């Protein structure tokens, strides 16, 4: 249920009051939490507008028995947060209100209307193999929420069609899923590769890695700060969000080889910067510098994914 508060609860308890009860429910939310915002409509005109909104919602979704006073209060909250009653997507808000107030059949209607939109938006970002998992998590967060987070459909403001809002929400959720899952996966793969290489690493090189690990991380962080923003964005898309080279090319209207060259150039620039920073510690002619370059190359993606994740 939406948190309408004690004022609207009292209004809903007296729902048998005829006529102006819709206005009371609407104004209770419109004026909640501060000084009254008022409205350009007098009570008679506002009552007629709210009754018409309820009628539009019922006509669009006759199978959903949304309480008209709850819907009037919901519209008041939306308008208070920056909407305009005359310009709202009333039918879409009616469905959103039905989902928020746990009306029987609302979740099924939502799924029938927007399930395909959700899945398509998710699949374009995470791939078909992970679509089911992300889609299920998204449905949960949109319509049910959790102990610490209310259903996200409550943030729908009715200023654009609900289908468009759903598509944007799906893309954001998919990108967040990639950050949380692919970064960890990439880090494990990179760490595993380094351990595999470690089986044939000379003790001197292992000592070198441990000795200069902190210096390397600091130098890489500084080099990343100096890297142009568009190159950082490319690295973040690929290493943190897990976006493929093909998709990056599509996003920037270039071929996959071009996207690959861009990423390679960004890595090379970072490697050169890091080696230049660390050279004074080792001496430019030191054999250690050559070994250190190999360490930098083997660890750069793992370290970058961690650094970029927190930026």
Domains of the chain: 1-101 (no CATH), 105-195 (1.10.1740), 201-309 (no CATH)
Report whether 151 contacts 98 (CB < 8 A): no
pLDDT over 90, % of the chain: 19
270 has pLDDT over 80:
yes
Q: What is the pLDDT of residue 309?
A: 53
Q: Find the range with the poorest average confidence among 106-115, 143-152, 266-275, 299-308.
A: 299-308
d(CA 94, CA 71): 7
Report whether 258 contacts 308 (CB < 8 A): no
Q: What is the pLDDT of residue 132?
A: 81
Q: What is the pLDDT of residue 288?
A: 55
Q: What is the pLDDT of residue 299?
A: 54
Q: What is the pLDDT of residue 1?
A: 41
pLDDT level of residue 53 (50, 70, 90 thresholds): very high
Which tokens belong to 272? 């050169």
When comparing pLDDT for 202 and 12, which is higher?
202
193 has pLDDT over 50:
no
148 has pLDDT over 80:
no
197 has pLDDT over 80:
no
Sign of dihedral through CA atoms 32, 35, 41, 47? positive
Q: What is the pLDDT of residue 68?
A: 93
92 has pLDDT over 50:
yes
Report the pLDDT averaged over residues 11-21.
47
pLDDT level of residue 217 (50, 70, 90 thresholds): confident
Which tokens belong to 227? 């890297």
142 has pLDDT over 90:
no
d(CA 35, CA 168): 33
Report whether 119 contacts 125 (CB < 8 A): no
Q: What is the pLDDT of residue 10?
A: 43
Report whether 26 contacts 37 (CB < 8 A): no
d(CA 293, CA 295): 5
The rounded mean pLDDT for the chain is 74
Report whether 59 contacts 109 (CB < 8 A): no
pTM of the model: 0.53
Which tokens belong to 284? 């430019």
Q: Find the range with the poorest average confidence among 19-28, 34-43, 189-198.
A: 189-198
Report the pLDDT averaged over residues 158-166.
91
238 has pLDDT over 90:
no
């Amino acid at each position: 249920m939406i948190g309408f508060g004690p004022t609207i609860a009292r209004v809903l308890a007296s729902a048998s009051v005829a006529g102006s009860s819709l206005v009371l429910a609407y104004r209770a939310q419109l004026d909640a939490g501060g000084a009254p915002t008022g409205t350009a409509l007098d009570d008679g005109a506002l009552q007629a507008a709210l009754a018409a909104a309820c009628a539009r919602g019922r006509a669009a979704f006759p199978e959903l028995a949304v309480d008209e006073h709850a819907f009037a209060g919901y519209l008041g909250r939306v308008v208070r947060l920056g909407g305009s009653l005359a310009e709202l997507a009333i039918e879409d808000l009616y469905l959103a209100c039905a989902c928020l107030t746990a009306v029987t059949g609302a979740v099924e209607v939502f799924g029938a209307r927007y399930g395909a939109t959700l899945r398509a938006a998710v699949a374009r970002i995470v791939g078909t193999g992970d679509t089911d998992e992300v889609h299920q998590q998204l449905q949960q967060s949109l319509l049910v929420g959790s102990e610490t987070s209310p259903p996200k459909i409550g943030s729908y403001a009715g200023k654009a069609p609900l289908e468009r809002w759903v598509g944007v929400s799906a893309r954001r959720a998919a990108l967040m899923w990639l950050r949380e899952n692919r970064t960890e996966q990439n880090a494990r793969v990179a760490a595993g590769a380094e351990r595999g290489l470690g089986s044939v690493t000379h003790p001197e090189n292992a000592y070198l890695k441990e000795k200069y690990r902190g210096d390397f991380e600091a130098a890489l962080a500084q080099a990343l700060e100096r890297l142009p923003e568009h190159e950082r964005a490319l690295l973040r898309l690929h290493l943190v969000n897990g976006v493929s080279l093909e998709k990056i090319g599509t996003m920037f209207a270039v071929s996959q080889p071009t996207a690959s060259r861009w990423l390679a150039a960004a890595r090379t620039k970072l490697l050169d910067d890091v080696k230049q920073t660390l050279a004074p510690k080792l001496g430019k002619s030191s054999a250690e510098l050559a070994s250190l370059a190999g360490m930098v190359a083997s660890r750069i993606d793992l370290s970058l994914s961690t650094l970029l994740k927190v930026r």
